[in-house]
Amino acid sequence: MQKTLPPVLLAAMALDLGGAETHVISLARQLRRRGHSVVVASAGGRLVPLLAEMGIPHVEIPMASRSPVVMLRALWRLQQLITEHRIGLIHAHARIPAWLVSLAIRRRPVPFVTTYHGTYNASFPWRYLSTFGQRTIAVSEDVRRHLVGPLGAPPDQVRVIPNGFDTEAFRPGLDIGPLLTEFGVPATGPHLVHASRLTDSFADTAVALLAALPAIDRQLPGARLWLLGDGNRAAEIRRLTDETNRLLGREAAVAPGLVVDVPRFFNLADCVIAVARTAIEGMACGRPVVIAGEGGYRGVLTPELIAEYADANFTARVGGSPLNPETIAADIVSLLRPEAAPLRQRMGEAGREYVVKNLSIEAIAAQILEVYAEVL
C-alpha cells in the first residue's frame, strides 16, 4: 500500500495554457486520486477551475512577477500558506517559484523538490537565482544536461522524469460535432491545428504558419489552420489571420484564443503542429505531428524519430532550424497528400502507443512519488 504523504504544495507561476501548467494540474489530480492531500499555489489563470472539479484548493500567490515588491508579497504569502496548511513537502515548477520557496523555508526547512520544464538563461545574475531543492527533476535529457552544465546543479540529485499525460482525456475518437457546429465549418479539411502561447517568441510559429498557408492552400484547397492560444501577441496574430483570410478569399485561418477543450480540437486535426506538451497531446490523440515551436523547426515526427526527439522533449532545441514558411508548407503538403495516408495512420498509431506506454500520468506520478520518498 502506498504510504500517505504529508500535505503537498505544488507551486507554479500561473495556470493558463502551457505545458508546465497543465502538468501541474494533472499531477495534482493524480495525487488526489491516490489519496494524498494537495494544495496548488500560483498567480492564477483560466485553468484553475480544473482543480476545483476535484476539490483541490488553489491559493493565489503572485509567483509570475519579477517585481521586487510583488515577490516580497509572494514570499510572505507562501510562508503563511506553508504554516496554515501544515505543508510537509513542496514541489516547485519553474525558476521563480523555486527561488521563492527556497527563501520561504529557510528558517523552517521543508522537504523540497523542483522540476525544470525547459532551459533557462544561465548568464549573470540569473544563474544564481536557480534553485534546485533536495532533488531536481528534468523533463528531458537535454534539460538535464543544461541543469548540470550551465546552471550548475549537482548531478547526483537530478532525475529525468518527463511530464505525464491524461491518456483518457487525450485520446482518439472524441466527438468533434460540437466544434463543427460552434464554428460553422465542415468536417472536410484538411484541418491544421497549432496550439501554443501567443507570447514573445512563442508566437513566431503562428506567424510562420500563416505565411505558409497560401502555399498550402494552392495544393490543398480547403485547408483550414486553427491557431489556439492567447498572450501578448494575440492581437497581432488575429490581425495577420484576417489579412490571410482576405488574401485567400475565405476563412482559411481561425484564431479562437485560449481554449480548454484542446483534445476535441486535436481530434479534428489532420495534423498537429506544435512542440513539447502540446505535440505529445497531439500524439496521444493519435494525430500526425509536425514539430515547430520552441527552438524553431524540426519537421515531421515519423515513428522512427520518436525516441530521438524525446531527448529534447519533442522541441526543436536540439537539431532545429529557423522557421521557414516554404519548408513548413512543403512538409505539410507532403504529409497530407492522399498517397501519404498510410504514413499518417502509422504516425498516429505509433505516437499514441508511445504516450500510453511511456508518458501516462499514472506511470509518471509513480516515478515522482519515488523522488518524494527520497527527500522525506
**Do 329 and 188 share a domain, yes or no?**
yes
**Do 151 and 21 share a domain, yes or no?**
yes
In a domain, 2, yes or no: no
Closest by alpha carbon to 20, among 93, 92, 101, 114? 93
Q: Characterize 111-120 residue by residue with b for buried, 16 or more Cβ atoms within 10 angstroms of its Cβ, and e for exposed.
A: bbbbbbbbbb
In a domain, 337, yes or no: yes
Query: Residue 187 in 3-state DSSP?
Result: coil
**Do 182 and 95 share a domain, yes or no?**
no
In a domain, 37, yes or no: yes
In a domain, 172, yes or no: no
In a domain, 46, yes or no: yes
The pLDDT of residue 2: 55
**Do 160 and 224 share a domain, yes or no?**
no
User: What contacts 27, CB < 8 A, 6 or more positions away?
Assistant: 10, 91, 164, 361, 364, 365, 368
In the predicted structure, residue 3 carries a pLDDT above the cut 80: no
**Do 353 and 364 share a domain, yes or no?**
no
Instruction: Using alpha carbons only, give the angle 308, 313, 314 rounded to the nearest 5 degrees.
Output: 70
In the predicted structure, residue 76 carries a pLDDT above the cut 90: yes
Quote the cell numbers at residue 84. Answer: 496554515
Class of residue 314 by CB neighbours under 10 A (exposed 0-12, middle 13-18, buried 19+): buried
**Do 214 and 342 share a domain, yes or no?**
yes
The pLDDT of residue 10: 98
Read off the pLDDT of residues 193-239 as tens digits, 9 standing for 90 and up: 999 999 999 999 999 999 999 999 999 999 999 999 999 999 999 99
**Do 223 and 304 share a domain, yes or no?**
yes
Relative to beta strand 296-300, strand 289-293 is antiparallel
Quote the cell numbers at residue 276. Answer: 513539447
In a domain, 194, yes or no: yes
Q: What percent of the chain has pLDDT over 70?
A: 98
**Do 218 and 140 share a domain, yes or no?**
no
Indicate the pTM of the whole model.
0.89
Residue 1: which pLDDT band, with cuts at 50, 70 and 90? very low
Average pLDDT over residues 186-197: 94
The pLDDT of residue 99: 94
Average pLDDT over residues 87-112: 95
Read off the pLDDT of residues 142-174 as tens digits, 9 standing for 90 and up: 999 999 999 999 999 999 999 999 999 999 999
Average pLDDT over residues 268-296: 96
Cis peptide before 125 (omega within 30 of 0): yes
Structural domain including 78 reads 8-164+360-375
In a domain, 209, yes or no: yes
Q: Dihedrals φ, ψ of 11, to 5°?
A: -110, 125
Pairs from 131-135 (Cβ < 8 Å, separation ≥ 24): 131/92, 131/95, 131/98, 131/99, 131/101, 131/102, 132/98, 132/157, 132/158, 133/90, 133/92, 133/98, 133/101, 133/102, 133/375, 134/374, 134/375, 135/159, 135/371, 135/374, 135/375
**Do 67 and 97 share a domain, yes or no?**
yes
Read off the pLDDT of residues 51-60 as tens digits, 9 standing for 90 and up: 999 899 999 9
**Do 29 and 134 share a domain, yes or no?**
yes
The pLDDT of residue 59: 97
**Do 124 and 197 share a domain, yes or no?**
no
In a domain, 171, yes or no: no
Residue 292 maps to which CATH number?
Answer: 3.40.50.2000
Residue 126: which pLDDT band, with cuts at 50, 70 and 90? confident
**Do 279 and 138 share a domain, yes or no?**
no
Residue 192: which pLDDT band, with cuts at 50, 70 and 90? very high
Cα first-last separation, the chain: 17
Quote the cell numbers at residue 47. Answer: 485553468
Helices (H) and strands (E) in the chain, counts: 14, 13
> How many separate domains does the chain show?
2
